[in-house]
Structure 1
Amino acid sequence: MQNIKAPLLTIFFIFLGFFVYTKLAGPIPFSVNSIQTTKTNLFSVSGAGKATGIPDTAQISVGVTKTASTVNTAKDSVNSSANKIIDDLKKLGIPDKDIETTNYSINPNYDYALGKQTINGYTVTQTLEINIAPIDVANKAVDTATADGANLVGGINFTFNDKTKKDLENKARTEAVKMAKEKAGSLAKATGIRLGRIVDVQESGNFEPRPIMMAQGLELKSEDTQLQPGENSITIDITLSYETR
């Protein structure tokens, strides 16, 4: 009997201790971690907008290449022509910042007669890249450069200045968003989907200047140059993601 009473008394005093503690100190604190998960269904749709304008800026590459028996002779000839080209381009109102030297090279020319490699001259080339606005000045720039000795005329790109490009991008973007929303409404109606708020927007754009290839290292005609910029387009693609209800 004594053996049974001892454990019972121990349990009794343990519960009595908890009872007294909770009365004096308050309830024993405890916490439970909870994780709440949400599931959101998304509905994505894309739209494209396009804005077209007449380019207002031309990018032109012109250069001078000369071959002579010595490096100095070829270099002096190129430098003389290139310096005159630069000076006369500035007289057309083209600022220094829009005239950039993109290449200056000196290369030996070899003769392989009798199976032996020997240097028989040197070719020196200098190339300038010119940004020109307005475009009608580009015609004069090409004529001026070739008259001053340019015998390399590379591709001509027609593009937009920063303000014009931004305005066209905004116009194309507005059209793309409108098209995407109209498409979303039409698809939702056809499929019975209830659209919620827009939770994500993705954008990509495309603009490539239209190049015109011109003569390189050829005898250019003396008639006045007439460059026609035509039209360029900027395309914006927009993807809208909606919550669905």
Structure 2
Amino acid sequence: MIIIYMNPEKSINIAGSVIIFFILLFVFAKWGPAINFSTTSQSKGEPFVVNGEGKVSVVPDVAKVTFGIQENGGSLKQVQDSVNTKSKSLTNAIKKLGIAESDIKTTSYNVYPQYDYINPGQRITGYQVSTNYQVTVKDFDKVNDLIVLATDAGANIVGGVSFELSDSTKAEKTNEARVKAVADAKTKAEGLANAAGISLVKIINVSESQNGISPRFYAMPASGDSLEQKSIAQPDIQPGQTEIQVIISLSYEIR
């Protein structure tokens, strides 16, 4: 039998070290900082975003014709009375053409004093009074007749004709372009997903942008020439076409 004799002092030192180790371990576990353990997790990636475009060409269904009356004179009342009389005759003539009163809009009424700038004091020598109208025409065959009629009724301010879309037509055709844009975006998304080897889970966001629809404008007689001073020929005015464009962005969740 082998008997091992240990130094008593050495045994006491080892036991003390073990006790101190466990005390320190307890203190660290109790009040020490938390130990972070790293874990591996897969977070969702960025959305898969695809843009689609939809275009629709449409013929404008509303024409807006602008013209006015302008008078000059020394007496403000006389000038105003003259303009008002001609304006009444003008609006009555427009109504006889079959245009509703609600489609005749006064866009401005202006009174400008005329001054004598040669002599000191800026003395008022007369007044200029003008009134301007915008007439909405839904029957394009009446546009030329309206221009001639306005001239005969006393309109002497050069205006023009713009072709636009009514609110209902604009809404209808914009929706058609929107449907095309969504279909285009979905087709692109499916093609790209197949090529990249990813799966489309669901659409998580949709955004839209539209182009501005500008009226098609046709000027009447050149600026500076009053209508009553010109022999008005029947102009060949065509509404042409307006394009509505819608861009749709679809965001997909993928896996």
Superposition TM-score, scaled by structure 2 size: 0.75
Match of 2:108 in 1: 103
> Percent same amino acid at aligned positions?
39
1:219 corresponds, among 226, 232, 251, to 226
Cα 1:190/1:115, change in 2 over 3 Å: farther
CA distance in 2, matches of 1:85, 1:99: 10
| Structure 1 unpaired stretches of 5+ | 1-37
Match of 1:66 in 2: 71
Match of 2:215 in 1: 209
- Secondary structure (helix, strand or coil) at the match of 2:214 reads coil
The 5-angstrom pairing of residues 221-240 of structure 1 reads: 221-240=231-250
8 Å CA contact retained: 1:151, 1:217: no
| Residue identity opposite 1:213 in structure 2 | A
8 Å CA contact retained: 1:49, 1:173: yes
| Residue identity opposite 1:228 in structure 2 | Q
Greater alpha carbon shift after TM alignment, 160-169 vs 115-124: 160-169
The 5-angstrom pairing of residues 61-140 of structure 1 reads: 61-140=66-145
* Cα shift at 1:238: 1.0
Match of 1:29 in 2: none
8 Å CA contact retained: 2:158, 2:226: no
8 Å CA contact retained: 2:68, 2:131: yes
Matched pairs, number = 208
Superposition TM-score, scaled by structure 1 size: 0.78
Match of 1:151 in 2: 156
* Cα shift at 1:128: 1.0
8 Å CA contact retained: 1:140, 1:225: no
CA distance in 1, matches of 2:119, 2:80: 29
Greater alpha carbon shift after TM alignment, 73-82 vs 186-195: 186-195
* Cα shift at 1:222: 2.3
CA distance in 1, matches of 2:153, 2:189: 59
Cα 1:70/1:103, change in 2 over 3 Å: same
Greater alpha carbon shift after TM alignment, 126-135 vs 159-168: 159-168
8 Å CA contact retained: 2:157, 2:226: no
* Cα shift at 1:84: 1.1
